[in-house]
Amino acid sequence: MTKLGNIKLRTLRDVAYESIRESIMKHELMPGETLTITKLSGMLGISPTPVREAVVRLSNEGILDYEANKRVKVSKIERADVSQIYEARRLIEVHISKKFVVGLKKNKDLKMKLEELKEETSNLIQSKQDPEHFAVIDLKLHELFLNLMGTGIMKELFYILGNKSLRIRTLVEATNKDRGITSEVLQKGAREHLDIIEALLNENEDQVEGTMEAHLINSEKRTLKYLDDYFNTL
């Protein structure tokens, strides 16, 4: 019975973690918003213990600010945070993309998936699609990188940065929903992804490094531009 109780507690903790994380990522809970364990417990309809454990986990990931027996606050996103995340991405993702080239030489299945992604990206650029379709390309490329790494510290770092980047992307969408993101901006991002994919398929490490750095620098500039109004209100 004790073992079954532990399984149930872990399950509820995971449910709480995923639910709170999703609400933060979707910006149903906005940066700086203050909560309590009791309030979160009531919102989720479960006891405080698994909620508290989920909050500690999200705090360790930098998504929530929490000290034991104190209020919970959704971590703020400031201009410096965006710049630091992109700086970290340039350091890690350029390195990983070079490892990707090595992986392509050994893995025919990986190369086939990248060829399919290239075709999907090319078709997307030529057609008019919703913003969600452009985000899918980025997520699929991110997933290929993640799967290539297996397990270990690099994968963990890549995963954490991916979460932080996703939170920034959804903040851009939440704070710009009235004016939207222009088709021109989406097309530029898609073309940069296509450049990266082609460089990977060419198995050219210098080309990969150049296209990856260019994309991340441009992406940072676009992100900061879209969040300028938000930062000015902080």
pLDDT tens, residue by residue, 177-212: 777 777 788 889 999 999 999 999 999 999 999 999
Q: How confident is the model at residue 130 (pLDDT cuts 50, 70, 90)?
A: low
Q: Are residues 84 and 67 in the same domain?
A: no
Give the structural domain span for 23: 2-74
Question: Shortest CA distance to 122 belongs to which of 49, 59, 195?
Answer: 195
Q: Report the pLDDT value the prediction gives residue 129, as an integer from 0 to 100.
A: 64
> In this structure, are residues 168 and 85 in contact, taking their beta carbons and an 8 Å threshold?
yes
- pLDDT higher than 60, residue 6: no
CA separation for the pair 52, 219 (Å, rounded): 35
Check: CB of residue 110 under 8 Å from CB of residue 97.
no
Beta bridge partners, 64, equal 74
158 shares a domain with 113: yes
pTM of the complete model: 0.81
Give yes or no: residues 6 and 88 share one domain: no
- Residues 14 and 114 both lie in one domain: no
| Residue 89: per-residue pLDDT | 93
- What's the token pair of residue 96? 């990983």
Higher pLDDT, 203 or 130: 203
Number of domains in the chain: 2
Among 21, 45, 74, where does a domain finish? 74
Other beta carbons less than 10 A from residue 161's beta carbon: 18
Specify whether 69 is located in the same domain as 108: no
Residue 59 sits in the same domain as residue 105 = no
- Strands across the sheet with 34-35, in order? 34-35, 72-74, 64-66
127 in helix, strand or coil? Answer: coil
Tell me, yes or no, whether 37 and 98 share the same domain. Answer: no
